[in-house]
A and B are shown apart, each in its own frame.
Chain A
Amino acid sequence: MTTLVIAEHDSITIKAATLNTVTAAHACGGDVHVLVAGAEAAAAAKVAAQIVGVAKVIHADGMSLADGLAENFAAQVLAIAGNYSHILFPATASGKSVAPRVAAKLDVAQISDVTKVDSPDIFERPIYAGNVIATVQSSDAVKVITVRTTAFEAAAAAGGSAVVEAVAAITDTGRSRFVGREVTKSDRPELTSAKIVVSGGRALGSAEKFTEVISSLADKLGAAIGASRAAVDAGYAPNDLQVGQTGKIVAPQLYIAMGISGAIQHLAGMKDSKVIVAINKDPEAPIFSVADYGLEADLFAAVQELVKAL
Chain B
Amino acid sequence: MEHMKILVPVKRVVDHNVKVRVKADNTGVDITNVKMSMNPFDEIAVEEAVRLKEKGLATEVVAISCGVAQCQETLRTAMAIGADRGILVETEAELQPLAVAKLLKALADKEQPSLIILGKQAIDDDANQTGQMFAALADLPQATFASKVELTGDQVVVTREVDGGLETVSLTLPAVVTTDLRLNEPRYVTLPNIMKAKKKPLDIVNPEDLGVDVNPRLKTLKVSEPPKRGAGVKVPDVAALVDKLKNEAKVI
Listed in ascending order, the chain A residues whose CB lies under 8 Å from chain B are 69-71, 74, 92-94, 96-105, 107-113, 122, 126-140, 173-184, 190, 192, 196, 221, 229, 232-233, 238-240, 245-246, 248, 253-254, 264, 271, 274-277, 288-297, 302, 305-306, 309-310
Contact = CB atoms under 8 A, between A and B. Distances in A.
B233 A294 contact: yes
26 contacts: A70-B144, A99-B132, A109-B216, A110-B98, A112-B128, A128-B20, A128-B29, A131-B19, A132-B224, A133-B223, A135-B222, A140-B217, A175-B172, A181-B168, A182-B166, A182-B167, A238-B165, A246-B180, A254-B245, A288-B234, A289-B231, A290-B229, A292-B249, A294-B235, A295-B241, A296-B234
A103 B157 CA distance: 26
Contact of A108 (B170, B217, B226): B217
Interface stretch (B2-10, B48-56, B63-71, B133-141): B133-141
Contacts, number: 248
A179 B172 contact: no
B98 A103 contact: yes
A70 B219 CA distance: 28
B136 A176 contact: no
Interface stretch (B73-81, B85-93, B118-126, B197-205): B118-126
Contact of B217 (A109, A221, A274, A309): A109
Contacts of A98: 132
Interface residues of B, number: 77
B210 interface: no
Contact of A184 (B101, B125, B165, B172): B165
Contacts of A295: 234-235, 237-238, 241
B219 A137 contact: yes
A214 B176 CA distance: 38
Interface of B: 14, 19-20, 22, 29, 96-98, 101, 121, 123-137, 140-145, 147, 157, 160-172, 175, 180-182, 216-226, 229, 231-235, 237-239, 241-242, 244-245, 249, 251-252
Contacts of B223: 127, 132-135
B238 A100 contact: no
A122 B163 CA distance: 29
B249 A132 contact: no
A70 B218 contact: no
B167 A96 contact: no
Contacts of A264: 19
Interface of B is mostly: mixed
A100 B145 CA distance: 14
B245 A70 contact: no
B225 A175 contact: no
B145 A93 contact: yes
Nearest to A102: B136
The 8 closest A-B pairs by CB, nearest first: A100-B132, A292-B232, A109-B217, A104-B133, A101-B136, A176-B141, A175-B141, A305-B238
Interface of A is mostly: mixed
A168 to B, nearest CB: 21
B114 to A, nearest CB: 14
Contact of B244 (A127, A174, A293): A293
A71 B141 contact: yes
Contacts of A178: 167-169
A109 B169 contact: no
B252 A92 contact: no
Contact of B226 (A102, A126, A180, A293): A126
Given A128-B29, A176-B170, A109 B251 contact: no
Given A105-B137, A109-B96, A275-B249, 18 more contacts: A100-B97, A100-B136, A101-B133, A102-B136, A103-B98, A110-B133, A112-B127, A126-B226, A127-B223, A128-B14, A128-B20, A175-B175, A176-B171, A181-B167, A277-B245, A297-B237, A306-B238, A309-B242
B126 A294 contact: no
Nearest to B162: A93
B19 to A, nearest CB: 7
Given A103-B129, A109-B217, A131 B225 contact: yes
A305 B14 CA distance: 44
B158 to A, nearest CB: 9
A175 B14 contact: no
B252 A221 contact: yes
A95 B157 CA distance: 21
Contact of A101 (B132, B216, B220, B239): B132
Contacts of B160: 93
